[in-house]
A and B are shown apart, each in its own frame.
Chain A
Amino acid sequence: MLKIEDLHAAVNGKEILKGIDLTVNAGEVHAIMGPNGSGKSTLAQVLAGRETYTITQGRILLEGKDLSGMQPEDRAREGVFLAFQYPVEIPGVGNVYFLKAALNAIRKHRGQDDLDAIDFLAYVREKMKIVEMDESFLNRSVNEGFSGGEKKRNEIFQMMVLDPKLAILDETDSGLDIDALKIVARGVNAMRSQQRAIVVVTHYQRLLDYIVPDHVHVLADGRIVRSGDRSLALELEKKGYAWIEEEVAR
């Protein structure tokens, strides 16, 4: 599903990603872990098409199609979804309008007709239930006045509505209490499917107790320095990141 080849990316001339190779097959969940400043959030943003980063080398392939030159909206229409670490508050833009515009833009790209108002609401309500969101959310502006947990739930809710091929969750666990974490994880687990790849970017192992990954990768200084199964995450939990950084330095 996702194939990243020798990906280098820089911001203001400073290289942050220094050659990443990663393959995530449909049906798999991969966790990307790493210390602060390792480049894991940059990787998430670069995949989504953030223009502040320049791809200096390498390719990002989604089902064989190269995303690296595409605008963020075109990537989204191809099936990429980024759940933000810090979801943006957009006063004056209503959730209903926003979701409908997003969904219909993506449906159009897939050659599907716009959903009418009734079908849209029915579809959206069904997804809201899974992440326990109140319907009043729909009448509010995008993320405006939402608590930290509400914002994260809203990201997962949007993911469910847009039904991506590749979902990237950037530190979705940060700032969540255990109950909110469980709700978010339930949403993500409901999205696991043979037609979808999921990449979970996280600093802590905790989230992986609830979203169990098939593979775990450790990022340090812009490179993947270790890959393994779930036990790697548990080892990191026990020993911290220092030993990996030391080993890499050696």
Chain B
Amino acid sequence: MSRTAPVEATGWLSRLRTDGRARFDALGIPKPTDENWRQTNVQAVAPFAATSAGPASASAAALDALPLASALPCRVVLVNGRFDETLSSLSGLPRGVRVRSLATALLESPEPLEPHLGHAASVENAPFVALNTALFADGVVVTVDAGVDAAVPLHIVHVALPGAAPAAIHARTLVIAKDGSQVTVVESFVALSAGTYLTNAVTEILAQPDARVTHIKIQSEGPEGWHVATVAGHQARGARILSYNVSLGAALARNDIGSRLDGPGAECRLYGFYLVDGEQHVDNHTWLDHASPNCPSWEMYKGLLAGRSRAVFNGRIVVREGAQKTDAKQSNKNLILGDEAIVYTRPQLVIHANDVKCTHGATIGRLDEESLFYLRTRGIGKDEARNVLIRAFADDVIDKIPVGAVREILVDTLHLRLERDFRGIEA
């Protein structure tokens, strides 16, 4: 508690949090009647969304038993949304890269954060961002000084340790990449115990002129977990953000991921891959706000569904007045195994400029029978043939993930899931 009081006392932060609370109170947990939440029902989290999970401690051994959690040497661990110094290891970061607990930073030197915190992720029409803003207990601030190449990827591991009563984890990540800097941030979400909980994470990425930020998000929550996450970028002139969003776990996952291209020549690429089966539900709402001319954006989301799972993809592209020579490409491809999975996919283009290129496409299909037969006539067994085709489908995204250790874990995970959960499902 000693931390909370002075943090709350600071004027701007107090206002930010009060505004967040007020917005959340006004908006409430979204209902299926809300346009942005039509296919994704999160009413079940209403009773505990505003109840913050208490502090907890995770054992290093339990954490390191998860391949994902121990994938990279340079890591920050948040347990139930709180920075855990003993599990974190920040050696190897070059000068000019600072990684701190958000609570500590706000306590010790809040002023430099004022222009950034809450800048990219608006609470306006976003109840979960509003709630996070009101309630986050801690998080991570990554600052990369101008011209610095962080070189080694930084891994932020979000560990959930749900208790007996359902509660919510409101973690906040802030990445500030100054002029011409480069950094790769991996955020992964894992659970170390069973139970119902809500992760409500918000990540803001501020890419200043010519900065290059790669953000890789791997969601591998527990089977009873609810996961709502916002990744919001803000890009100045010439800045580039590459976003990779992989969704594997949770009972329900909702991502709102996007960026505002706010200076000429800014570039954003959004890659996504989701793998759902059983009763899992995944919803990706992406957005690209082209607010400046000459900005390319490129988006590819692919998903594999089995069982009675559901996937929602909503890709919003806004081209503002004056954002001429925008070049935006979007695609969403879904591969369905079995008979009962459902995909809702929708491009949403809002264009207010006349000299732009915007393309979009969506497919929902099954494994190609011709391809399967062809492989089998060469002696390749049925399961192997099916897995080969599925892996080829996934590789479009997985192969592009620029951190080898993470990519390898994802390939292994995919193989495991194909063997364990997808085996014997008819194409």
- Give A contacts to B, CB under 8 Å: 48-51, 71-73, 75-77, 80-82, 84, 87-88, 90-93, 97-98, 101-103, 105-106, 109, 141-142, 158, 162
Q: Are the CB atoms of A92 and B392 closer together than 8 Å?
A: yes
Q: How far is B264's CA from A230's CA once the two chains are assembled, in angstroms?
A: 72
Chain B: minimal CB distance from A146 (Å):
13
Chain B: minimal CB distance from A234 (Å):
32
Q: Is B373 an interface residue (CB 8 A)?
A: yes
Q: Are the CB atoms of B393 and A48 closer together than 8 Å?
A: no
Q: Is B380 an interface residue (CB 8 A)?
A: yes
Known contacts A88-B370, A88-B371, A92-B393, A82 near B377 by CB under 8 Å: yes
Q: Are the CB atoms of B392 and A109 closer together than 8 Å?
A: no
Chain A: minimal CB distance from B208 (Å):
37
Extra inter-chain contacts (7) besides given A92-B392, A105-B380, CB under 8 Å = A48-B377, A82-B377, A88-B374, A90-B371, A93-B389, A105-B378, A158-B378
Which 5 interchain pairs have the tightest Cβ spacing? A92-B392, A102-B378, A76-B379, A72-B376, A105-B379
Inter-chain contacts of A49 with B (CB < 8 A): 376-377
Inter-chain contacts of B385 with A (CB < 8 A): 73
| Chain B residues numbered 96-118 whose CB sits less than 8 Å from any CB in chain A | none
Q: How far is B399's CA from A93's CA once the two chains are assembled, in angstroms?
A: 13
Q: Are the CB atoms of B379 and A93 closer together than 8 Å?
A: no
- Give B contacts to A, CB under 8 Å: 368, 370-371, 373-382, 384-385, 388-389, 391-393, 395-396
Inter-chain contacts of A71 with B (CB < 8 A): 376, 382
Known contacts A73-B382, A162-B378, A92 near B396 by CB under 8 Å: yes
A-B CB contact pairs (8 Å), 23 listed? A50-B373, A72-B373, A73-B379, A73-B382, A76-B376, A76-B378, A77-B379, A80-B377, A82-B377, A88-B371, A90-B371, A90-B374, A92-B396, A93-B389, A101-B378, A101-B388, A102-B378, A102-B380, A103-B379, A105-B379, A105-B380, A105-B384, A106-B379
Q: How far is B382's CA from A75's CA once the two chains are assembled, in angstroms?
A: 13
Q: How far is B374's CA from A101's CA once the two chains are assembled, in angstroms?
A: 13
Inter-chain contacts of A81 with B (CB < 8 A): 377
Q: Are the CB atoms of A93 and B388 closer together than 8 Å?
A: yes
Q: Are the CB atoms of B379 and A102 closer together than 8 Å?
A: yes
Best-buried of B392, B393, B395, B396 by chain A (most CB within 10 Å) = B392
Chain A: minimal CB distance from B224 (Å):
34
Q: Are the CB atoms of B380 and A92 closer together than 8 Å?
A: no
Q: How far is B23's CA from A106's CA once the two chains are assembled, in angstroms?
A: 65
Chain A: minimal CB distance from B366 (Å):
15
Q: Are the CB atoms of A73 and B381 closer together than 8 Å?
A: yes
Q: How far is B388's CA from A98's CA once the two chains are assembled, in angstroms?
A: 9
Chain B: minimal CB distance from A72 (Å):
4
Contact of B377 among A76, A97, A141 (CB under 8 A): A76
Inter-chain contacts of A109 with B (CB < 8 A): 379
